[in-house]
Structure 1
């Protein structure tokens, strides 16, 4: 099974139907509490404080104490509200009590997410806190070597973060067994429903311990998600911080009315603005076309869609996070896992398929209390459709006529004239991993690897030195022989082996080097 997706056609649910799932207490009534008072292990509290996090977000303040107490939790909160730590911290509190290592192939906790990108970001978010208490976290997603995941599962994993497709593959081949899972979290459950994953999710949950704790977090709660709650979240407590519609306090919404012949020029001027911008298209071909047109006028843009290999998607996201690529053009499915702070403009180049996709797109900005702007580029024949979508999403969008170079366009988006100097592909390849600093060798997702931490390390193991991209110190040297180690053609090397993509120690095929 792959991570291929399809869209379901679940009907939206009225507020009256959702009433049993709503929390009676709004978030603002929750008393202020610190992480030190919640009951987390001291090393986790210290690691949070080191990152400047001492006070939980509203959804964390409400749900973490109940989750630590062992209760099933249903959390309703928008993207960017801190849901990852809301389920991740209780997992760490529980797993830190174990003094033995997890058994081979049998993780103790499971996080199910809809996309590969989201899985990687969940691992990255949990890693510094998990390592503080010796908890190992692993991502099991499609597009990365299956055998490497098998090896890591065999060594023992505390928290497995997985997409339904790849986890299903492991379960069928017996390389992962879920009968020791004590606590399961479903993140972005509504997106998994939209992507048609609920049959797999039900099957996976059915293989976890019946008495296991379950945490389900979702931005919206439609009929399909409710059916999952009824089946697997017995005696749960519900916490809700949002009404399932877009935030009106931190987001501004605009409908930019343009003539058909001016759309590309307007997009180019928006793309030339300062800051990170994410643009949404409906199709893979649409993404590539927009990206090509933006590059042709001097805008360093890259596309993100399901047609790209996972290593390409990872590199594109890394460059976007680092700022090397200021404009990302994405499809809805690929962008569901983009949780990047500092995106202050979202552009609907094509109208979304439905109002929920509008909200998911909009949720890429105004994260964690930051301000953000959402604009839809609307042609004359699309006005009625977009008006309907924004109405269903609970958005009061301001309609403005704009044209290339107009003051209104610049005021709303920060648009300016692009340089006109084409951006070549080499701009992105000159530094494969954006502006991330190298720390003691090794590509390690988006964070350095700590001693003994294990955890997620991209799709490759780090030996001593690790993968160094195209750098000269130790890494891949093309076809040139290297005097100390290096690539030696097809001859084995006695000290260090084949150095291909590794430095100081090198890759040795399936041989272990002692």
Structure 2
């Protein structure tokens, strides 16, 4: 199977060849013909398997075939993404594959000035890539006309739901023409995603090229048990001892990312952090420095787990396990992309084992455990340690205090919290993007 077998035009085949690709991935083999036939598509595939080209290539061909060549163009295709980084990545793909076509594209997202975006939109675009919040800003200011949209793409739609974009998405859907082609692409599959697909898509072609919520097979996964207060020391040791040149490290919080980057820098490792509180200019600069090798370690939150497309990234480290197991799949999907091998390392302390069990249950596999000599965890940090975590004690205190303050008022029945299970944190919200 080659790209020539998929019905793509000569101009698109030239652009694909220029990019160095010869054989389509499984998701591309199934998605491209379905999109070219004008069908709604609901596709799920592992991170790093070529989903972006799976909808970008046929979208470009459909628009180019019916290109009205208007002087004042309004968007005919709209691609929604959850993060700025992913929006940039998708727009880069549109430009790369469409370089021999006369179609115009633009990208709009928050965190940067809106005036330059308004000027670009006024010049006219055929394909608009956007994050939901900033797109609604343009709608409110009447700087974009969505009445001519023929194709809607929801990219990484599961992440958009996680980040609280569902209301914004529904507002945008109400503006778009009802007679359109809709494509949904996701790396993970869940009931909310299926429910959304049922409401948006008309007789869709459903594509699932790998078992649901699985990691790429070429990614080697290993867990290193370690005490929480020795994680940073172990991370510095591994990077130095193994001479890792490029490492993407994930933390749960923005403050934790900043602190870890500063600590690693003091250890002599050039490091920087990327997260939702950083300006877009700072995020772009940090990513470019990392790609160019100016920075050895990039510390990121889960906001950055989507849209970071780094060629042949060798190592991803979970400094802290995510409290949402699907996010683990997206994190380690930053390595082992496009068929390359990668290694995903997780540093796990005692109170994170419930998170680890959730991840293993999602993957339907037990991850290899390897204790690093000299960094053996203490007995209280071993798996199975039956100690309540701080969030649980805090929740229990609030519950007891509420009962003591209102003894005569019936209270809502609460589910008991199992000892040793960390309280679930809220997922990232749209405001963090």
Question: Do both proteins adopt the same fold according to a TM-score greater than 0.5, normalized to the shorter chain?
Answer: yes
Q: Does 1:253 align with 2:221?
A: yes
Q: Report Cα offsets for 1:272-304 as digits up to 9, x if no partner.
A: 332321111111110011101100011011100
More helix by proportion, 1 or 2? 2
Gaps spanning 5+ residues in structure 2: where? 377-433
Q: Could you tell me whether the CA contact under 8 Å between 2:73 and 2:124 is conserved in 1?
A: yes
Whether 1:280 and 2:250 are equivalent positions in the alignment is: yes
Deviation string 1:170-227 (CA, Å, 9 cap, x unpaired) is 1111111211011111110111111111121122122222111111101222222122
Q: Is the 8 A contact 1:101 1:156 kept in 2?
A: no
CA distance in 2, matches of 1:387, 1:169: 41
Conserved in 1, the CA contact under 8 Å of 2:47 and 2:216?
no
Deviation for aligned residue 1:105 = 6.7
Give every structure 1 segment of 4 or more consecutive aligned residues whose post-TM-superposition deviation is greater than 3 Å. 98-105, 403-406
Partner of 1:54: 22
- Do residues 88 (structure 1) and 60 (structure 2) align? no
Distance in 1 of aligned mates of 2:352 and 2:13 = 50
The SS at the match of 1:87 is helix
Give the Cα separation in 2 of the matches to 1:83 and 1:102. Answer: 30
Residues 231 and 291 (structure 1), Cα distance of their counterparts in 2 relative to 1, 3 Å cut? same
| Contact map agreement 2:316 2:332 (CA 8 A) in 1 | yes
Q: 1:145 to 1:132 in 2, by over 3 A?
A: same
Deviation for aligned residue 1:49:
1.0
Distance 1:371 1:151 in 2: 43
Paired with 2:174 and 2:121, the residues of 1 have a C-alpha distance of 20
Matched, 1:237 2:169: no
The 2-side partners of 1:222 and 1:404 are apart by: 41
In structure 2, how many angstroms separate the alpha carbons of the residues matched to 1:225 and 1:204? Answer: 17
- The offset of 1:405, in angstroms, is 8.5
Instruction: Name the SS of the counterpart of 1:343 in structure 2.
Output: coil
1:191 to 145, 159, 162: 159
Count of residue pairs the alignment pairs up? 374
Q: Is the alpha carbon distance of 1:343 and 1:125 closer, same or farther for their aligned partners in structure 2, counting shifts above 3 Å? A: same
Corresponding residue SS for 1:132: coil
User: 1:245 touches 1:394 (CA, 8 Å); kept in 2?
Assistant: no
1:367 correspondence with 2:367: no
Q: Distance in 2 between matches of 1:388 and 1:168?
A: 36
Aligned counterpart, 2:148: 180
Question: Structure 1: any 5+ residue segments left out of the alignment?
Answer: 1-31, 407-514
Deviations along 1:74-93, one digit per CA (max 9) or x if unpaired, are 11111111011111011110
For residue 87 of structure 2, what is the aligned residue in structure 1? 119
Structure 2 equivalent of residue 109 of structure 1: 77
Indicate whether 1:350 and 2:320 are aligned. yes
- Which deviates the most, 161-170 or 41-50? 41-50
- Compare relative contact order (CA 8 Å, sep 6+) and give the higher one, 1 or 2: 2
Give the root-mean-square deviation of aligned CA atoms.
1.8
* In structure 2, distance between residues paired with 1:329 and 1:151: 34
2:126 corresponds to: 158
| Stretch moving more, 111-120 or 227-236 | 227-236
Counterpart Cα distance in 1 of 2:229 and 2:162: 34
